[in-house]
A and B are shown apart, each in its own frame.
Chain A
Amino acid sequence: MRSCSIQRLPAILAFVATGSLLSSCSKEWETFRHDGLRTGHQPNRSALSDPSRVDTLHVAWQWQLPPVGANQRRGFRSSPVVDDGRVYIGGGDGRLYAFNAATGALLWQYPPPGQQPLTSLFNCNPSSYGIASSPTVASIGSTKAVIFGAPDRSVGTGLGEGRLFALNAATGGVIWKSPVLAQVTGTTWGSTTELHQQIGYSAPLVFDDKIYIGVADHCDNPIQQGRVKAVDLQTGGLIAGFDFVGASTRGGGVWTYPTTDLSSVYTTTGNISSGNPGGEPPVNNALAMVRLDRDTGDLRWKHQPVPFELDADPDWASGITTVLSRCGTLMTSTMKDGWTYAVRPEPAAGASPSVAWQFPATGFPFTPGDGTVHGDTRFLRAGAAWGSTFITTAGGLNTTTNLTPNYPRLHAFDVCATNQLNRVRWIKDVPHTTGGAYSLGPPTVTRGIVYVGTNQGWLVLISDPSVHAPDGYRCVHPDVSAALCGFAGLPLVADPHILAEVQLAGSIQTEPVLAKGRVFVATDSGWLYMLEP
């Protein structure tokens, strides 16, 4: 074994080097969802993965965004990232902040005080006020950089067109600014002659010396032509040879982050029919999971379960989690209508994708008259991958009959299970939510302990039953009591144990970041917290 390792040393070294791009085993949390695979998983052991220690989790420091005007304060929709002892986060006030991770001391902010913040004049929801894009840390030459998307009123039309920024991670100095990637040529609601594009929530993916970013719109007023764009990591220059459009006209907005499996770039796309009253356009990549050529953006395949005719705005907004499972690599995601899919990366091109499973397994593509509804429901949080387990806010077995009570509920799926009834590993109704849309932020996980924020401001820690015994068992169908589960021919599944609950201030719509034994989480009321056991 030892001699084998010696022979493979160059290969290991190569992976250490390339690992810095994707950092799927990093102890830090250098990008949204931890790594370029978007696992949302911290694989390294720490106090945060020790069930006997996490019940002492407490706030070590906290910091609040300054007010943007009299009696007005923006919150955080960007999630923090952590690298080399520093925390970086974009604020709804239009500034990117850097802190000492241990003490919370503010190190720098960009733009500096006194300079115009990165805000848009097209305001409609939390994605459009300031910086909603979670940053990414990467090396540009020998310099560590923080890269993020934001509106910028100092460029183009002056209305807050979207571009990428790369800042020196140590000083906050500008390394480069990309050209405008999301155009805003007016602020007239509903105008079909103006462009209302935005980067919004899309978090940059650094992969293969490029940065990929999604472009969507401002509150569907009206929907724009969705895109994925790429810029050069070293210079910030637009890579002209790369382009992906969600539709040939309007539609297919990319509201989420791009993902990779180390081969291609993947993402999910938004609605289309409201922007095409005349009918389906010739190119329709909307409401789809797509695999793209990483050099050109050419479509390799698309998984499009909801056809144009059934589009009632079920944007596919949660993004894709790459699950490196015991049954191979699977690209997993929950659509806004509540259905969850796992798709195999192969074939690489030229054919329909191979869908491993759908949950619930009603069949797809959906067809007019099949009784299903695909509307603007709010299953739009990124999921997390731990081993062969995919943890997500999803519709359950009651998706077609009673969908919305699933908002405060996490499903953990065994992605390799052979049928949908034993696919459900556990189900948890997370406490301390209002029960409605946006009840939960995106969950993260470290070695079986799930961290999730609620819209009542609680950070809740849930233990996979393999880490701590569950509180008991419930029916796999959320609307069937455990007592009647067997009568219905359905199995019981674990109802996992809650290890800790910590109350914070403000709704948590961002991901709990797990880095080197510390939790960093931000809230809608503008608080950034660091907690540790």
Chain B
Amino acid sequence: MAHDKILSLPVQMFLLTALMPWSISGCQYFERAAALDRPIWEFDTGGHDPLPAPSVEAAHSSYEPQTPYSEFGEGALMRSVAQTVQDGQAIEIRDLLVGPNKKTEELRLPGTVVFTVLSGSGMARIASDSDEHGRIIELNQGTSGVFAPGQSFSISNSSDLPLDIRLRSFATQ
């Protein structure tokens, strides 16, 4: 009510009329929300509401990855990043992707495999002669290790994020 002493009612009505086009012209944005002490998103110009999730039958777009992953047994996606032969050794770099809450079947790659977790977390079960249940290691970003030639392993990802592992294999030809 103190404001009424600042501006007479006719003046206020005139200014309100003058400001009306401004207030409805699409300028439903920061100043208006702040002036009315209301959350900004109540004055939105769109872009606030999440999109509906696509249906199961949603059409795929024409986009295709340049270096796509392929299915590599249950629960695993794999792609070859680079390969060469040097001094009789076949060297190959691969990416293994285990999706959120996925577990792979027993996997096996040729030769000695050095692995590094590039992102995500999970567990690896590595076949072991001394333990019928295998050896369990925790996987976190930066974790590295070695799979011996012919050694099988499986990976489980119990997180909601993808688990990316880089594999470097060295196999005698």
Contacts and interface: CB of A to CB of B under 8 A. Distances in A.
B63 A474 contact: yes
A363 B51 contact: no
A471 interface: yes
B141 A371 contact: yes
- Binding site secondary structure of chain B: loop
A477 B35 CA distance: 41
B14 to A, nearest CB: 10
A405 B66 contact: yes
Contacts of A351: none
A324 B47 CA distance: 11
B168 interface: no
A488 B97 contact: yes
B65 A386 contact: no
B64 A43 contact: no
B71 interface: yes
A329 to B, nearest CB: 8
A464 B46 contact: yes
A12 B118 contact: no
Contacts of A11: 35
A402 B100 contact: no
Contacts of B63: 429, 474, 482, 495
A46 to B, nearest CB: 8
B73 to A, nearest CB: 11
Interface string B59-88: 111111111111100000101000000000
Interface stretch (B1-9, B105-113, B130-138, B148-156): B1-9
Contact of A10 (B3, B13, B144): B3
Main secondary structure of the interface of A (DSSP, over half): loop
B58 A400 contact: no
B129 interface: no
A37 B46 contact: no
Contact of B60 (A8, A448, A466, A473): A473
A15 B48 CA distance: 24
Contacts of A471: 61-62
Contacts of A12: 19, 31-32, 35-36
A103 interface: no
Interface stretch (A238-246, A291-299, A312-320, A412-420): A412-420
B68 A465 contact: no
Nearest to A370: B142
Interface string B28-52: 1111111110011100111111110
B47 A492 contact: no
A481 B71 CA distance: 11
Contacts of B45: 41, 43, 386-387, 447
A24 interface: yes
A473 B51 CA distance: 12
A236 B157 CA distance: 58
Contacts, number: 222
A388 B141 CA distance: 30
A371 B101 CA distance: 22
Given A9-B7, A426-B51, A473-B58, A401 B22 contact: no
Contacts of A367: 142
Contacts of B40: 324-326
Nearest to A389: B47
B77 A43 contact: no
A70 interface: no
Interface string B10-31: 0011011001001001111111
Contacts of A493: 54
Nearest to A480: B69
B169 interface: no
Contacts of B60: 472-474, 482-483, 492
B100 A25 contact: no
Contact of A466 (B3, B4, B51, B102): B51
A421 interface: yes
Nearest to A41: B45
Contact of A488 (B50, B54, B77): B77
B39 A45 contact: no
B119 A362 contact: yes
Contacts of A479: 65-69, 79
Contacts of A419: 160
B59 A465 contact: no
B35 to A, nearest CB: 5
Give the 4 A-B residue pairs with the shortest CB-CB distance, closest first.
A387-B47, A472-B61, A489-B99, A495-B61
Interface of B: 1, 3-4, 6-7, 9, 12-13, 15-16, 19, 22, 25-36, 39-41, 44-51, 53-54, 58-71, 77, 79, 95, 97, 99-102, 116-120, 141-142, 144, 160-162, 164, 166
Interface of A: 5-16, 18-19, 22, 24-25, 27, 37, 41, 43-45, 324-326, 360-363, 367, 369-372, 386-389, 397, 399-402, 405, 414, 417, 419-422, 425-426, 429, 447-448, 464-467, 470-474, 477-484, 487-495
24 contacts: A9-B3, A14-B35, A15-B31, A25-B27, A25-B31, A41-B45, A326-B41, A362-B120, A371-B118, A386-B47, A387-B44, A387-B46, A387-B47, A388-B47, A399-B119, A400-B118, A429-B63, A473-B60, A477-B162, A482-B63, A484-B68, A488-B102, A488-B162, A491-B53
